[in-house]
Amino acid sequence: MPNIKSAKKRVLVNEKKNERNTMLMSELRTAIKKFNSAIDSNNLEVAEQLLPETMSIIDKAATKGIITKSSADNRKARLSKKLSDIKSGKKEVVIKKDNKTIAAEKRAAKLAKEEAAKAEAKRIADEKKAAAEAELAAAKKTTKKTAKKDAAKDAAKEEKPKRSKAKKSEE
């Protein structure tokens, strides 16, 4: 800890400047991240709106001495080139996915696959049921026809012996 009054004051002033510089540098990084995330999500309208704001923040940081003028110019040029390249079609936006998004997509695909398997199993079961019902109906039709034929045959058989007995009695 300094003992001299001017050294004490210098420590206080440096702390204030450090705080201000940290705040402005954080604001600068946040603005650049917002712009980049707008581009990464393929939201060019938002990126166009954020570009002037981001450039303004970069210029403020340069005038306050947080970054040098050439560094500010380089950053602004990179951002504007990135946007113009995507607009003109020189570069394609590759949408970045975090692990949560990837896991959610996998879960959704798994659920869709399970639903498709259930639907397929239900369709097959319905087809089997319909086929069994059709077979049963066909069997009933044949049994009705055969039952009628059998009844007719039985009736004919019964009538024949009756006739024959009647004939015998007549004789």
**CA nearest to 50, candidates 79, 71, 26, 22:** 79
Residues shown for the chain = 171
CA of residue 163 relative to chain centroid, distance? 85
Whole-model pTM: value is: 0.55
Instruction: Let me know whether 80 and 42 are in one domain.
Output: yes
In the DSSP assignment, the letter for residue 1 is -
Instruction: Let me know whether 104 and 76 are in one domain.
Output: no
Structural domain total, the chain = 2
CA of residue 158 relative to chain centroid, distance? 77
- 18: tokens are 């450090």
What range defines the domain where residue 56 resides? 5-88
Residue-wise pLDDT for 93-150, tens only, equals 777 677 888 888 999 999 999 999 999 999 999 999 888 888 888 777 766 666 666 6
Q: Which DSSP helix (H) or strand (E) runs through 157?
A: helix 99-170
Instruction: Let me know whether 9 and 60 are in one domain.
Output: yes
